Chains A and B, each alone.
Chain A
Amino acid sequence: MATSTTEIEADIHAHDDHHHGPEPGLMRWVKTTNHKDIGYLYLWFAFSMLLIGGAMAMVIRLELLMPGLQYVEPQFFNQMTTMHGLIMVFGAIMPAFVGLANIMIPPMIGGPDMALPRMNNWSFWILPFASIMLISTLFVDGGAPAGGWTMYPPLVLQTGAAFPMLIFAVHLLGISSIMGSINIIATIMNMRAPGMTYMKMPLFVWTWFITAYLLIATMPVLAGAVTMLLTDKYFATSFFSAAGGGDPVMFQHIFWFFGHPEVYILILPAFGIVSQIIPTFARKPLFGYSSMVYATASIAFLSFIVWAHHMFTVGLPVSAELFFMFATMLIAVPTGVKVFNWVSTMWKGSMTFETPMLFSIGFVIMFTIGGFSGLMLALTPVDFQYHDTYFVVAHFHYVLVPGAIFSVMAAAYYWLPKWTGHMYDEKLGKFHFWMSTIFVNVLFFPQHFVGLAGMPRRIPDYAVQFADFNAISSIGAFGFGLSQVLFAYIMIKAVRSGKKATDQVWDGAEGLEWTLSSPPPYHSFSTQPIVK
């Protein structure tokens, strides 16, 4: 049913984009230039990578269940940690956010589609090939890369036949995200409906706008760094080889010049998502909209001048350590603005706790825990103790799992009824939230303790005094992994047999996307709405 309030024409070409409904064969998905089709492809791709990367995490936690070596060889363990990191960062979280951007940005700004639909198709279809190349390294001579996802030389140069595959996979993944970002920027700058000024854009659009700039600024730097690795190994250059006058520490500088903005690429869209969801279920407009925009921009700017906090222990001069320490702590200010704004949005709101809201509140609380441990790590003197321990692992998993991944799940529950026209099972959704939240904390919280006590990361064995906390952590991991099977079940069940969703879906929801039918027409806004 089309809403009467919109100016959507009864679009005669609009057909159901529902991907389990009637469809004209598989080639639709290969050749599609439709933003929603491509977005759904991204999401399914990201989910399958989440399962593959998750299976690797299960191998890691299984080995760490008990001290000693039980199930896998240390070399294979290292391959698992490396591949888990690469797949989750480049295969799961980033494509999931790009998928959400593809589906949601055009309807949120009142556009018909993305600005560059053919390039959009290409951006997606590079991904499966890149990830197949990356995953197939498990089966080549010498095994998968095992030197850590950060690919530090000289260790990474010892990778066997997998090495060029790793480099080219990173190149392809980078090209895909650069093209995706160019598309997002072009869409936001050119496809907004009349009256949709920049400061009226929904926050999800804003955070993605800034994220896209971070991506086009930093992914090429990573591409350059890995190209230098490639030429060092095969073409006798010495960028990172001390014997030829190079310096392996320089790789760390170049890598983290990319890597620190990258961690904000993984979290800014999440900020956008929860900034959409919390006002809906608090039934109040977002508190401090413009401060949210400025805070996002400040975080993006600061992300370029803090990279060396990842390398406090390489032998930086004291002045540099102080600079990077203070610059890093400065990021807590705009981040704090955001957290307080979310809390203020909920303050005295008529709150209800549907699944997307639960995931969003979980995000705010647990992301903040990750933020605080990040603040601890920013302190140079204590970082010397925390560096490369499980405390670091606990920190970044708190911001990435109950942070980024929870936000993607919140987005899936929040917008699925809009996408498919079917509601998910609220009881199961809440059960999924509580299972995920309990187990994710059982999984990662004890890692703070073993980290502070000195357990190093990326090692398959550990001293026996860490045994109890590791056993708890592994049990949490298995529980969290199983909970995500439930997530897949809930989504599929909703698509197949969920009860019909209204166009408004959530009574507190505001924004152009809710003025479209559920599911929306194939070309979101064929006639642009006028925003007042």
Chain B
Amino acid sequence: MSNKTQPQRSMRSLLTKLFLFPIMMFGFGYLMVPLYDIFCDVTGLNGKTGAISEAKASQMVVNTEREIKIQFTSNINQNGSWEFRPAQSIMTVHPGKPYTTMFYARNKLNEAVTSQSIPSVTPNKAAAHFDKMECFCFTEQKFAALEEREMPVTFVVGTAVPEEVDTITLAYTLFTKE
């Protein structure tokens, strides 16, 4: 029977391939993580917002013809005990012009806590045009026991934002870092 099966050598090379393939696919599972982020960044899906430098934002041409309503909302994730809300809930902006608004946060616990806020923009097609020069969401925010604070967000809506967009919602979710 042995002379009828293929030689040992080709079996070995087949097996090497067959074992390497699952290992590669295990790596592919992890590769999906950066791919997913790139995909979301490129398409603006998932409401991911971009960052932009002050200098670049100041070069934008302001379109005073157009007015866009910006709504701010806030959510608190289940952990920790917080008060967290936008200082003003609606503002009207011109594309290309930078604006600053504040979010108010208070740590209701009698201990120091670190928070991280995650932004999300709707509609998705506006997310790629919503850029921030400054945001408390860029870094972790440390709060002393019972500390309250106003945190600034400086943003600009790009002039290329699609015509049909007249309202953009910026939502922050505040998480407690363990």
Contact = CB atoms under 8 A, between A and B. Distances in A.
Interface size band for B = 35 or more
Interface stretch (B30-38, B62-70, B99-107): B30-38
Given A243-B116, A526-B1, A218 B14 contact: no
Contacts of A242: 77, 118, 173, 175
A116 B11 CA distance: 10
A217 B4 contact: no
Interface stretch (B18-26, B52-60, B152-160, B161-169): B18-26
B1 A527 contact: yes
Interface in B1-52: 1, 4-6, 10-11, 14-15, 18-19, 21-30, 32-33, 36, 40, 43, 45-46
A221 B27 CA distance: 8
Contact of A224 (B5, B11, B26, B116): B26
Interface residues of A, number: 37
Max chain A Cβ within 10 angstroms of own Cβ: one of B10, B26, B46, B116: B26
Instruction: Give the interface SS of chain B, mostly helix, strand, loop or mixed.
Output: helix
A225 B32 CA distance: 10
A242 B27 CA distance: 22
B77 A220 contact: no
Contact of B43 (A182, A219, A253, A317): A317
Given A112-B1, A190-B14, A243 B26 contact: no
A425 interface: no
Contacts of A216: 18, 21-22, 25
Contact of A244 (B23, B28, B116): B116
A410 interface: no
B1 A220 contact: no
Given A186-B18, A190-B6, A190-B14, A317 B30 contact: no
B6 A221 contact: no
Nearest to A224: B29
Contact of A243 (B14, B22, B177): B177
Interface in A206-264: 216-225, 228, 239, 242-245, 247, 249-250, 253-254, 257
B71 interface: no
Given A220-B29, A224-B30, A253-B36, A194 B4 contact: yes
Contacts of B177: 243
Interface string A397-433: 0000000000000000000000000000000000000
B74 interface: no
A249 B48 CA distance: 14
B159 to A, nearest CB: 23
B124 interface: yes
A254 B29 CA distance: 7
Interface string A298-313: 0000000000000000
A217 B22 CA distance: 6
Max chain B Cβ within 10 angstroms of own Cβ: one of A216, A228, A239, A244: A216
Instruction: Give the interface SS of chain A, mostly helix, strand, loop or mixed.
Output: helix
B14 A189 contact: yes
Given A220-B29, A526-B1, A178 B77 contact: no
Nearest to A110: B4
A115 interface: yes
Given A220-B23, A243-B118, A528 B29 contact: no
Contacts of B24: 220
A245 B18 contact: no
A223 B173 CA distance: 30
B5 A190 contact: yes
B15 A182 contact: yes
A195 to B, nearest CB: 11
Interface string A350-364: 000000000000000
A368 B173 CA distance: 45
B1 A223 contact: no
A249 B116 CA distance: 19
Contacts of B5: 190-191
A221 B25 contact: yes
B136 to A, nearest CB: 14
A186 B175 contact: no
Contacts of B46: 247, 249
A317 B45 contact: yes
A182 B46 CA distance: 38
A220 B22 contact: yes
Nearest to A185: B18
B23 A239 contact: no
A11 B130 CA distance: 78
Contact of A254 (B6, B22, B23, B32): B32
Nearest to A213: B21
A448 to B, nearest CB: 33
Contact of B15 (A186, A217, A249, A528): A186
A189 to B, nearest CB: 6
B14 A239 contact: no
A443 B40 CA distance: 43
A155 to B, nearest CB: 12
B25 A257 contact: no
Given A115-B11, A224-B29, A225-B29, A247 B45 contact: no
B26 A220 contact: yes
Given A186-B14, A190-B11, A217 B21 contact: yes
Max chain B Cβ within 10 angstroms of own Cβ: one of A219, A225, A247, A528: A247
Contact of B36 (A243, A247, A526, A527): A247
Nearest to B174: A243
20 contacts: A115-B11, A178-B22, A185-B18, A186-B18, A190-B6, A194-B4, A216-B21, A216-B25, A217-B25, A218-B25, A220-B22, A221-B25, A221-B32, A228-B29, A242-B118, A243-B116, A243-B118, A247-B46, A250-B32, A528-B1
Closest 9 A/B residue pairs (Cβ)? A224-B29, A243-B175, A220-B26, A220-B25, A221-B29, A220-B22, A182-B18, A216-B22, A250-B36
